[in-house]
Amino acid sequence: MNKNKNKALAFPCCLTKTQPSDPSGKFEDWLPTIRMNLKRHALLFLALTFQFALLAQLGTWNVLHLRWQQSDNLTFFCEAQLRSLSFYDEFHYHEFKGGANYRLSPHFSLTGGLGRYDTYMAGSSFRTPKSNEELRTWLELGMRNTLGKINFEHRYRAEQRFTSRGYRNRFRYRLSATVPVTSFGEKGYELFASVWNEVFLTNKAPYFERNRFFLGTILRQGKYSWNLGWVRQFDYRLDDEIGRSFLQIGWQTTLSKGKKPLTTVPEVEEN
């Protein structure tokens, strides 16, 4: 009797013969646990495979935006973008541009800019010959208004495009909404939710050229801000229809001659 008691104390009372921790259990007793572990690993493998598949289908859209606030009303900016058709692979597009923004009032502003845009053939990174080379100028009117905590921005832009395929006009309208979510940290981090949609039109048939949609977040700390989101772009052509999704990562900073008050919401990149 004493020997049996000592053997019983050698193992935790919660373990039974049917559990895998019991060395005296038979192989059949291990099967439920083995099957459960296989199911968990299979689900984890499928989830990871699905995530990697989504990333492989996503292109990347990288934005660097710098601003110089000359005065309360006048701001100069420059921006660089690098895009790829796959997840940091098949780089096919880059642009460099700059311009000036003049705030007419708290609700209206005028912007003018000049930029260089290069599009390469799909299939590999910067595959030549180029699909398009473009020098572009534009003028735009911006309008801001609020509804509760939602900050709306309307952008009306007219572009003059000097491309390798000839001169073209294009007209764009973007409606964006930015909502403050929370603030945290001793350094004053502010998190915003952002969504916008933009329509591209031309003065020649078929008139509708492109639609671009963004959904994401903006994190701001002082004069710096970072945005992370999903861009869905649909291009219309007479002989083709292309729809692509991009992971957009952006970084923006605003410099100034002195301490100027920042806007209540972060500025959306020019794009």
Domain 58-256 has CATH 1.20.120: no
- pLDDT confidence of residue 236: 78
What is the dihedral angle through the alpha carbons of 146, 73, 263, 219, rounded to the nearest 10 degrees? 120
Alpha-carbon distance 219 to 186, whole Å? Answer: 15
The Cα 248–Cα 153 span in angstroms is: 20
| Cβ proximity of 173 and 166 under 8 Å | no
Question: CA triplet 101, 105, 111: central angle to 5 degrees?
Answer: 20
Q: Are 242 and 234 a contacting pair, CB within 8 Å?
A: yes
Could you report the average pLDDT of every consecutive run of 10 residues in the chain (271 residues)? 47 44 56 67 60 69 94 94 93 96 95 96 90 96 95 97 95 97 91 96 91 95 92 74 83 78 61 67
Predicted local confidence at residue 20, as pLDDT: 47
Which sequence spans correspond to the domains of the chain? 58-256
**How far lies 86's CA from each of 42, 59, 90, 236, 245, in Å?**
27, 4, 6, 20, 9
DSSP 264: S
Please tell me the distance from the alpha carbon of residue 115 to that of residue 117, in angstroms, as a whole number.
7
* pLDDT at residue 40, as a whole number: 67
